[in-house]
Amino acid sequence: MPRQRPRPDRRTRDRRTRDRRPSARRVPLALSGAAAGIAALLTATTVAAHGLPGPVSDPQPAATAYVALGDSYSSGLGTRSYLDDGTDCQRSASAFPSQIAAAQGHALNFRACAGAVISDVRSAQLSALSGSTGLVTISVGGNDAGFADVLTECALPAWASDCHGAIDGAQAFIAGQLAAQLTGLYDEIRAAAPAARVVVVGYPRIFMGEDCNALTWFSPEEQTRLNQTADQLNAVLGQAASGAGFGFADPTAAFIGHAVCDDPEWINGLSTPINESYHPNVDGHVSGYTSVVSGATGTTVTASAAVRRTAAAQAEQLARQQRAYAAVDRTIRPPEFRAPDLDSPRVRAAAQRAGIDLDDRAGIDRADRVAARAQAQQQRR
């Protein structure tokens, strides 16, 4: 059996931000006590006589209207705690949009939804944008490339799967079709929110070369190609963002050393419930995405304990806000990663062809390693 690593105890460093208040304006000439009293009396008399409003404090600047668009990597699927908003969007107060809004005092409209593809963003999310929108973040493209289906295929033993064929299909889509679709979407975002700063959010590499999960069979070669596909996707996202005049938040460097099976890992491996698998966990959002994305907006923030408490306190307000969109959000159908099923007719047929006893785990793993090496050699030709 592959060795299991104990899950580390994660702690987030509490870096409390200091409350900075504007200093009061200084009056250049100090009045004596008597003169000050006379001046105050004259002012009050003048106000009363002419019906003028009394002194008012300086108005506070309006909160920036922030709209978070996109898929599960923005909604927070993987953090295991979600807003009760009447949908399956899996929005989390631990996700980076909530953390950034809490840290910077933005007014967040949390439209990102697990499973969203480009057409879903267009039909279900863009209506939240307006001329008053000041900040937009968006992660989309992974579902369009079929990542859930690719991971499902590659998780099977090599003798029962066509992982490299699935990767080839995703890479062909990214290279040939994705850029044009993104360009069209980004043009619509700019038209709907002409004054907004827009940041496109990329995807991390999921793997680190070792599969420590007992019920998946990702080979080192497959993991390398899957990471290369994430890099390819980020390159296309970054180029399209630049062409639209948008910023790009690339999480690749931040997540190195924190992939599935790393210590600590910021991305879930095979999980229960299954849809939590291969998504950033709380640490991935709080320690990874929040600083990367906020930095691309112009001000890097840290999700301190105080910020996390503020975000948690705003969860019910966000849930009430998003319930208004529940009908349209329910039209989004998330693709799901499916755990390997060695009892499926497909796998049983493959085992029979290869002469593998499905009751012999050591034999299953041995045959997987042989088939994975052969497929990798064929791929390199």
- Distance, in Å, from the CA atom of 43 to the CA atom of 22, rounded to the nearest integer, reads 26
Among 106, 164, 258, 279, the active-site one is 279
The backbone torsions φ and ψ at residue 274, rounded to the nearest 5 degrees and listed phi first, read: -65, -30
- Which residues are CB-neighbours of 51 under 8 A, at least 6 positions away? none
Q: Which two tokens stand for residue 268?
A: 């879930």
Number of Cα atoms under 13 Å in the Cβ half of residue 136: 31
- Distance, in Å, from the CA atom of 158 to the CA atom of 371, rounded to the nearest integer, reads 6
164 classed as catalytic: no
Which residue type occupies 99? Q
72 classed as catalytic: yes
DSSP string, 219-230: -HHHHHHHHHHH
Omega prior to 273 cis, within 30 of 0: yes
Which strands, in side-by-side order, build the sheet including 197-201? 107-110, 65-70, 133-139, 197-201, 247-249
- Distance, in Å, from the CA atom of 180 to the CA atom of 192, rounded to the nearest integer, reads 19
Which residues are tagged catalytic? 72, 279
